[in-house]
Amino acid sequence: MANLKEIKSRITSIGSTMQITSAMKMVSAAKLKRAQDAITQMRPYANKLTELLVNLSSSLDSSDQGGFSEKREIKKVLIVTITSNRGLCGGFNANVIKKASSLSQNKFKDCKVHFLSIGKKSTDFFRKNDFNLISSHDDVFTNLNYESISEIAINIMDYFNSGEFDKVILVYNQFKNAATQIVMNENYLPVENTEGSESSIGDYIFEPGKEEIVSELIPKSLKTQLFKAVLDSHASEHGARMTAMHKATDNAGDLKKELTLTYNKARQAAITAEILEIVGGAEALNG
């Protein structure tokens, strides 16, 4: 009977876990809808801004585009990682951390690499493993908005312009759908023009001038690029958590069925054993 009690206790425990994971799945699904709408609305603007910047800058020399396009010998690299503040979302955070670590140990192994963390999970990892973490921004997801991300982008631009870093890389999860997130590592600084692309500016008059417009567009484009990456990561987080909780609920349901079957078999065996004992005792009395 002790065995039966243990199995019944496990069934009850798994039932409670199923309720929690199912509730978390529904919460993530609700949050995913808002996050997905945000990134869907942001992408056309960000893409058009980038297209406009490429069209304008393609007809200018790098010297006319300010310090953001300056190509230097890569000695010092800043890797910006975007993760979440909470777990229970499958490999969402681990994939970003793994990609960032791989870049520092392979592609930039001969460089001095530092990290800037957006999200508590990557912050905790870098601090625990003694990585060169220059700053962390774990509170941006409390009230995610363009202004807070702009401040981070300005700090990164200042790092680059001051010569503290020669290259800046963004590592984050790009949202494709609720079940699929793509780990991205894209160049952030210096700004790279598309080689061989023909300008499609047309016969326009620019006021005050192309150089001035580009000098205004590049910082705005960099802020928008970082904001888009954070929105992508935010939507990916909820999609990953919803998928993970869905799988956890299904697995808990399967386990509960197996344990219920085991419990019924054990209970039936115990009842059969008791009946056999009673019958055996009755026959002994009759004999």
Q: Which residues are catalytic?
A: 89
Please give the C-alpha separations between residue 16 and each of 9, 147, 240, in angstroms, as whole numbers.
11, 41, 22
Structure tokens at 119: 């999200």
Structure tokens at 121: 């999970």
Amino acid identity of residue 6, one-letter, is E
Structure tokens at 215: 């000098």
Sequence-distant (6+) residues with CB within 8 A of 90 are 240, 241, 243, 244
Rounded-to-integer distance, Cα 111 and Cα 76, Å: 6
Q: Is 37 left (phi over 0), alpha (psi -120 to 50) or beta?
A: alpha
Helices (H), the chain: 2-57, 92-102, 120-128, 146-161, 210-286
**SS3 category, 205:** coil
What is the end-to-end Cα distance of the chain in Å, rounded?
A: 31
Sequence length of the chain is 287
Residue appearing with tokens 């609700």: 30
Q: Phi and psi for 162 in degrees, rounded to 5?
A: -80, -5
* CB of 115 closer than 8 Å to CB of 193: no
Q: Is 102 left (phi over 0), alpha (psi -120 to 50) or beta?
A: alpha
